[in-house]
Amino acid sequence: MPFFFFDGTILLLLPAMILAMYAQSKVKGAYAKYSQVRASQGVSGAQVARTLLDRAGLDGVTVELTRGNLTDHYDPRKQVVRLSEPVYNGNSLAALGIAAHETGHAVQHATGYFALSLRNNFFPIAQLGSNMAMPLFIIGLLFANNLGILMDIGIWLFSFAVLFQVITLPVEFNASSRAVGMLMDNGIIASSEEKGVRSVLSAAALTYVAATAVAVSQLLRLLILRGRRR
């Protein structure tokens, strides 16, 4: 077990981990900054989400308040846009950008956006891979003479989790692009406010890039460790 965690291959993760820390710092900084900038229209995130959904013909999609901070998401199964309290009731550029982003996911779902459909269908497999990959790989690593095949199974399962992260990237970038477009096209933000909204959404998107980099680096590490045991 110590070999798995502290051997030299751990260095493969360092660049991705640094990127992940930078991304978290970036998103926190952008959110903190633009959550203090009131949008000129003075509308709340909930009002923005409802307006954009209605104008997209999605009156069947509801908007709900959810607990936590930055817990905003779209639930495709129940067709609900859930917004955290600072976004639901907030009227800042950050709140409006996040609300529009989650609405963008609802529009993706309604229009059959391929990458979103693929991600939703792939999620159960990716979740299984994420939960089972490391335990199986470590058992196979510790007992390589008899259970080495478990390392191979673990790698295949982890590959599904990595693929899920890769599929997520176009979904998130597209939702952010839709968000800015909808806000501008519907006159909800002024042209001078676009930069602030983009800053928040771009910072959030960077966290997905970092997560993908970490996952890919971890997969490469597992492959190297497996190669040493052959």
pLDDT for 20-52, tens place per residue? Answer: 999 999 999 999 999 999 999 999 999 999 999
Asked if residue 65 is part of any domain, the answer here is: no
Alpha helices in the chain (DSSP H): 2-6, 14-34, 45-55, 85-88, 93-111, 114-142, 144-147, 149-185, 194-228
64 is catalytic: no
Among 64, 85, 102, 193, which one carries the catalytic annotation? 102
pLDDT digits (tens, 9 = 90+) for 86-125: 999 999 999 999 999 999 999 999 999 999 999 999 999 9
Asked if residue 59 is part of any domain, the answer here is: no
Tokens encoding 42:
């003075």
pLDDT digits (tens, 9 = 90+) for 159-170: 999 999 999 999
Asked if residue 8 is part of any domain, the answer here is: yes
Q: Are 212 and 58 in contact (CB under 8 A)?
A: no
Asked if residue 174 is part of any domain, the answer here is: yes
Dihedral sign from CA coordinates of 132, 134, 139, 141: positive
Number of domains in the chain: 1
Q: Which domain does 128 fall in, by range?
A: 2-39+93-228
Length of the chain: 230
Asked if residue 196 is part of any domain, the answer here is: yes
Asked if residue 175 is part of any domain, the answer here is: yes
Asked if residue 73 is part of any domain, the answer here is: no
pLDDT digits (tens, 9 = 90+) for 139-178: 988 887 777 899 999 999 999 999 999 999 999 999 999 9
Asked if residue 75 is part of any domain, the answer here is: no
Identify which of 108, 151, 160 has the alpha carbon closest to the alpha carbon of residue 131.
160
